[in-house]
Structure 1
Amino acid sequence: MLVLGVMSGTSLDGIDLALCHFSGFGPINYEILYAETIEYDREWREELSNLYMRDGSYLCSMNIHYARLIALQIQNFLSKKEVIEILKSRNTQNSDLLISSHGHTVFHEPDTGLTLQIGHGAVIMAMTKCHVICDFRSQDVALGGQGAPLVPIGDELLFGEYDACLNIGGFANVSLKIDGKRRAWDICPANIVLNRWAARLGDTMDRDGKYSQTGRLIREILDQWEHLEYYQKKGPKSLGREWVESIFLENVYESVFNPRDLLHTAVEHIARRIAADLPSSGRVLVTGGGAYHPGIINRLKQLTSAEIILPDKWLIDFKEALVFGLMGYLGWHNKINVLSSVTGAEKDHCSGVIFKNQNF
């Protein structure tokens, strides 16, 4: 089955599109056939970063407008020569394709029963004439779970040969087996804070660590971060932008400290927190944009005796889109795609809202 995984993360890099093929269920075979990241322009990046402060009416309208953006990017993706040839070689029409869309998270406060990902699936279905499955988090929160992380279903079914799977995106999160059960949790903020302070220097990210490596450690800030209450909690647990805004992105930091120093201190903090949550040995698969940050990876290698494994570029960049494609594949076939051992929900379940293309 061909599935187009669509992912937008909290780091606001852009929309990841991964055309994947899945077959079977025990085991599941997969292949990334073609993938691309569509970067947000400055207007969309600012819009999405400020959405959490908007009123309900505005959020409802953006749910539609953002869905239109996703749909337009999917249409452009499907019109590429390479993609057309792939679909033709597999005797697949656009109308047979399943789009599995995560949407973009505006709020995530599972302890209050609140999570919101915009990008309405009905709009995407109507514009692309493809089947769509979306809204994977709401059901888990309703069942008492954290609604995150969701990617560990892919770690369990596709990457079980690794002792741990680490993703360094907007947030860093880890997935591993403990006492025979898959466990996972958000470790700490990562690119969501690095990108913010890189923006103060006129850039979109701390590319290759070029800003953080010229900064100095702010010891008093590092000590504050290292002793945050969240790090003392046991999983299941997850992080949202609201928590990051209140603790890491307060204006007081930005008005007092040099952004290079904040970046340098954040890199040290990220590496320390990740190392504290990794197993003491074994093979760790590392993906997400943070896998390209030499400061984080080199410091992590110093802090842990586990083997840090960086896979090929497509897996680093598109693992989350791949796994949301997997979740769509499982959801379409009414198979479990969310693990309660990870999220803390009352049971394993099959999540996602389906919009069929109605034979357009």
Structure 2
Amino acid sequence: MSMYKVLGLMSGTSLDGLDMAYCHIWEEDGHWNFSIKQTKDVPYSDEMREYLKNAIYLSDADHAQLHKDYGMWLGEQSKLFIDELGEEIDFIASHGHTSHHRPEDGITFQLGDGQFLANTSGKQVVCDFRTKDVSLKGQGAPLVPIGDRLLFHEFDFCLNLGGISNISFEKNDERIAYDIGMANMPLNYITHKMGLPYDENGNLARSGKLDHGLLQKLNSLEYYRLPYPKSTGYEWFTEKVIPLVNASTSANIDLLHTLIHHNCEQIAFSVHKYSSKPQNKLLATGGGALNQFFMDILQEKLGPNIEVVIPTKTLIAYKEALVFALMSVLRLEGKTNVLKSVTGATSDSCSGEVFFPQGS
């Protein structure tokens, strides 16, 4: 049995900051196991958040510069955290921050240059987990389902509520997963307008009223009618969702209330469509699982036959960083870490680029 000591790094579409999870990962008796030993969240400065959010609009030269600068920043933050841990790690697994995701055009890009990250941290780095799958005609997303299958197989559904919502489950001995739609991205869009980082426990949303017209327009978006495999991101949100939200004359609290109902209706539709047992367990993670109003409405829409399981706050916040740590282990062992049944690629793949520190 080999024990891997891995630092997983994750930056999601919600742009809250960098999630860092120091994990132990090992395989025993044919089953993968994990322990999240220590975590750290590094909030983005307003300047960094705006820079990353608008990276899609940068010139090629400025985008390349941000790729290097962000890689160095990731390396600096990793080194600080490793020094705080006071123990050796084997390598760093970095998701990076997605600036472009247009798999239909064969394009996906995660900011955070792996070589600069390795040089700055002084550690081996595994990163760029999406590009190979896109080259195989896959969506390059979602990637977390390999972790759902190997680490959380006791649950019928695994739901992640980050900036967007995605789900994974087993169907006919294949792992199926796709991006349902939105989660925190539109909620953060509204709260930032209100001068707030987020709506704690969904208290503001709970006090709002339903905008039936907006709800109907959101539920009518074409994306929801597309078959899986499918994935979405910030481009879709800015092009299709923001105009509908901005056209509404409802108060901000009513928008928050309506958006949560919309999110939960779309999630419930997906779960009910693929629920094949009398009783099911759904694991909810990601920042949305910390929003109590979100969870209350989700359980209401799902009904009594589907139990929403909310794990520890550590797992809620750092599950994605954990899974990228697992993916890096699989990459270095030469095992499949991206599933064609999830992404629609022509084949499963062992994905990720490996970088070693260079220079002094």
Whether 1:62 and 2:60 are equivalent positions in the alignment is: no
Q: What's the CA shift string for 1:95-125, capped at 9, x where partnerless?
A: xx21000000011111111111100000010
Q: Secondary structure in 2 aligned to 1:249?
A: helix
Query: Which residue is equivalent to 1:38?
Result: 42
Q: Secondary structure in 2 aligned to 1:220?
A: helix
Q: Quote how far apart the aligned CAs of 1:213 are.
A: 2.0
Q: Distance in 1 between matches of 2:252 and 2:16?
A: 19
Q: Distance in 1 between matches of 2:101 and 2:19?
A: 20
Query: Which residue is equivalent to 1:228?
Result: 221
Query: Which residue is equivalent to 1:5?
Result: 8
Kept in 1, the 8 Å contact 2:214–2:248? The answer is no
Query: Which residue is equivalent to 2:234?
Result: 241
Q: Distance in 2 between matches of 1:68 and 1:254?
A: 40
Q: What's the CA shift string for 1:208-263, capped at 9, x where partnerless?
A: 11222232221111101111111111110000211110111238716844322221
Q: Distance in 2 between matches of 1:59 and 1:278?
A: 38
Q: Distance in 1 between matches of 2:284 and 2:173?
A: 21
Counting matched residue pairs gives: 349
Q: Quote how far apart the aligned CAs of 1:163 are.
A: 0.5
Query: Which residue is equivalent to 2:100?
Result: 107
Gaps of 5+ in 1: 88-92
Query: Which residue is equivalent to 1:169?
Result: 162
Percent of pairs with identical residues: 41
Indicate which of 278, 290, 293 corresponds to 2:291: 293
Q: Quote how far apart the aligned CAs of 1:283 are.
A: 0.6
The aligned amino acid for 1:229 is: E
Q: Secondary structure in 2 aligned to 1:323?
A: helix
Indicate which of 157, 179, 199 corresponds to 2:192: 199
The aligned amino acid for 1:295 is: F
Gaps of 5+ in 2: none
Indicate which of 143, 150, 167 corresponds to 2:136: 143
- Trace 1:148-163 onto structure 2 (pairs within 5 A): 148-163=141-156
Indicate which of 28, 50, 56 corresponds to 2:32: 28
Q: Secondary structure in 1 aligned to 2:137?
A: coil
Q: Distance in 1 between matches of 2:227 and 2:217?
A: 19
Whether 1:49 and 2:53 are equivalent positions in the alignment is: yes
Query: Which residue is equivalent to 2:332?
Result: 332
Change beyond 3 A, Cα 1:359–1:326: farther
Q: Quote how far apart the aligned CAs of 1:43 are.
A: 1.2
Whether 1:265 and 2:258 are equivalent positions in the alignment is: yes
Q: Secondary structure in 2 aligned to 1:265?
A: helix
- Deviating more after overlay: 111-120 vs 41-50: 41-50
Kept in 2, the 8 Å contact 1:198–1:211? The answer is no
CA RMSD of aligned residues (A): 1.6
